[in-house]
Amino acid sequence: MYRQIKPMFENAEPTMVQRLADNAVIPFDPANADYQEYLEWLAEGNTPEPAPTPTPEEALAAERAAMSCTPAQMRLTLHRMDLLTQVQAIADADPEASIVWEYATVIERTSPLIDALGGTNGFTDTQIDDIFRAAMQV
């Protein structure tokens, strides 16, 4: 018996399935013997269980884990939102955050630098999510 694995992105095609007997994750690779076994199982008229529907919290956590952009995308977005000076001041207040802000080649939503933007610095998680969504479109 198998279970579908929901793709990370909403409209993406599935690329793997989970075998329930041992929880093995099987990629859709014609050279993979387990995948060939899965195809035979399908040919016998079997149907995999549907992928579990994530809770809203799980869906948001998965979205955040996939959020990343270049420093240029982030800075352009912050500039367009008139937030660049504020974020620069937050980064400058923490020596490690300042180094990351200056030299990072990618900015990830789940990084400690981004965590520093929240809390007492005035950005909510929703605002940070919206900034990333916008930056990823630049």
List, run by run, the mean pLDDT of 10-residue segments along the chain (138 residues): 83 87 95 96 95 87 93 96 92 86 93 77 88 96
pLDDT at 51: 85
Beta strands in the chain (DSSP E): 2-4, 16-19, 24-27, 68-69, 107-108
CB 53, CB 122: distance < 8 Å: no
pLDDT at 96: 85
What span, in angstroms and rounded, lies between the C-alpha atoms of 18 and 3?
Answer: 5
pTM of the full structure: 0.69
The residue behind tokens 């809770």 is: 55
pLDDT at 100: 87
What span, in angstroms and rounded, lies between the C-alpha atoms of 35 and 37?
Answer: 5
pLDDT at 129: 95
The residue behind tokens 């952009």 is: 69
pLDDT at 90: 86
CA torsion through residues 1, 59, 104, 12, sign: positive
How many Å is the maximal CA-CA distance in the chain?
A: 63
pLDDT at 123: 87
In whole angstroms, what separates CA 107 from the centre of its chain?
12
DSSP state of 83: -
pLDDT at 113: 77
